Chain A
Amino acid sequence: MVTYREDGSSEVQLGQTRVMGIVTAQLVQPYRDRPKEGMLSIFTEFSPMADPSFEPGRPGELAVELGRIIDRGLRESRAVDTESLCILAGKFVWAVRIDIHILDNGGNLVDAANIAALAALLTFRRPECSLGGEDGQEVIVHPPEIREPLPLMVHHLPIAITFGFFSNESILLIDPTHNEEAVMNGRMTTTVNANGDICAIQKGGGEGVPQRVIMQCLQLATSKAASITKQIKDAVEAFNTERALRKIKRHPTSTGVDVREKQNQYTCNIPVSLEHFKSKTEVVITRTRKHYPLNMAA
């Protein structure tokens, strides 16, 4: 289930796993060897909220691996167009920062975090800016009230699908829960997009699997990616229409709680909950528990 709160923030619920993604952007100076490209950086926070074994402070190796998988999927496959983030070559570019907060660890954090990052990127709007000043070298950033902010150019959506391997029973699992993750022998994450392109594959250690199984995984991943891409796009659509409607009617329609001065008279307007302000898009990404027989005996 993908929920949106405001531009550039998304919350994904995948079974028991809950991940929040926040996108912000800042104007910075570009790297010297890439003066015409913007920057994309991903920060993953394994909050101690998600799991009692997560420690606060420096990200552990799991957090770093997760960040790298998502980063590879987005940056190297050129999903986000960094050249469109350039305002003034060599001087000012947009640095987009994605913060991923893991709120609840129910397993398969990589997939959920990937979806959260994509969803947040799709709804993020950066302020419009124009060149001005005397010699056209100054950048003027227009506040959102004056000029409508612009979306990012996202070419395609790389979706990460994680598989778990159990060699004893020769089973292949898609989307493992954290109990399954604790006992599985190996894992593999494939990042594919709806067009059938493989953006990244990550298999770090664990049990060795035959090539035939890898191909089977890739085929499964491609079919799953198509359906997940559709769900993300539907949720973004719903959010965009909700946002457009919100811009039209601006008066507050919910009443607050009234507190009066006199000690003995309390008028109480029952506070109305925030339901109708936020768009709750009911996109459920069901945890599929498909077991595929693995023929380990070559």
Chain B
Amino acid sequence: MEVDREDGRSQNQLRPLACSRNILHRAHGSASWSQGDTKVLAAVYGPKAGTKKNENPEKACIEVIWKPKTGQIGKLEKEYEMILKRTLQSICILTVNPNTTTSVIIQVVNDDGALLPSAINAACMALVDAGIPMRHLAVSICCCVPRSGLVILDPTKLEEQNMKAFAYLVFPNSVHSVLPEGSLSVQGEPIENGVITSVTHGVMSVDDYFFCLERGRAASTKLSDFLRRNLQHQSTDSSKAG
């Protein structure tokens, strides 16, 4: 059953992706990520000495600052900061630089749906640009369940507002051809099947949720390919040392 979307995409099509790294001069790492009209700018500074008050000094600490496009910082921004912090904590290797703080600053340039997934993707690319040690990358996607019909990927703002429920999912990026024994697996399952973060809004049935997960997983492979191509392409261009 084909769902008619306003911009002519099918239900499984993502919007055009664009990503560029190293766009800011002062920040140690920076990246800009856009999915369609949603655009997010991420900057990374770190590691800096010392950790915040309530943080464990035996590990590195990640601090996230979310800057909305306009208006005051409220609870929604604080919630995004917390989700982003927990997600990034699980992909970074925190034991490498203990007692340090890495700051990730997210600036929303334009919000046209799927804002948090774009921010997570941008933050991940910025961390790569800054050279922060990570276990693997994370790719993030938004799946939503409309009132009638099948699950839709990567909604625009208008579509998001008309949905019954939607879920932001973050999957680990697969490690290819670097390890001699193939991709990593955890307890027999390939690592891509795991879910790092899942944030849902609205009411959806359990079946719908598993369907979303499956779709999200398929989409994350596409996103991983895009990330890999982007990183390889840019790393062959820039030959600056360090």
Contacts and interface: CB of A to CB of B under 8 A. Distances in A.
Interface of A: 5-6, 9, 16, 18, 20, 22, 24, 45, 47-52, 56, 97, 99, 101, 103-106, 251-252, 254-261, 263, 266, 268, 271-274
B226 A257 contact: yes
Given A47-B105, A273-B16, 12 more contacts: A49-B43, A50-B26, A52-B26, A52-B45, A97-B70, A99-B71, A106-B26, A256-B16, A257-B13, A257-B222, A258-B10, A259-B12
A190 to B, nearest CB: 26
B115 to A, nearest CB: 15
Contacts of B25: 16, 104, 106
B109 A20 contact: yes
A258 B9 CA distance: 9
A251 B8 contact: yes
Interface residues of B, number: 42
Interface in B22-40: 24-27, 30, 34, 36, 39
20 contacts: A9-B109, A16-B25, A22-B69, A24-B70, A45-B67, A49-B27, A49-B107, A104-B26, A105-B26, A106-B25, A257-B14, A258-B10, A259-B153, A259-B215, A261-B218, A271-B14, A271-B16, A274-B16, A274-B18, A274-B34
Contacts of A22: 69-70
A99 B109 contact: no
A260 B107 contact: no
Given A51-B26, A259-B153, A268-B222, A56 B65 contact: yes
B48 interface: yes
A99 B69 contact: yes
A56 B188 CA distance: 45
Given A48-B45, A101-B107, A272-B16, A18 B24 contact: yes
A252 B8 contact: yes
B interface secondary structure, majority: mixed
A252 B7 contact: yes
B12 A258 contact: yes
A266 B18 contact: no
Nearest to A104: B24
B70 A266 contact: no
Nearest to B229: A270
B58 interface: no
A103 B43 CA distance: 9
Contacts of A251: 8
B17 A271 contact: yes
Contacts of B27: 49, 104
A272 to B, nearest CB: 5
A99 B70 contact: yes
A52 B48 contact: yes
Contacts of A45: 67
Contacts of B39: 5
Given A22-B70, A47-B107, A49-B43, A256 B218 contact: no
A29 to B, nearest CB: 19
B18 A273 contact: yes
Contacts of B65: 47-48, 56
Given A45-B67, A259-B14, A271 B105 contact: no
B41 interface: yes
A255 B16 contact: yes
A196 B107 CA distance: 37
A123 to B, nearest CB: 14
Contacts of A101: 67, 107
A105 B24 CA distance: 9
A49 B110 contact: no
Contacts of B18: 271, 273-274
B105 A266 contact: no
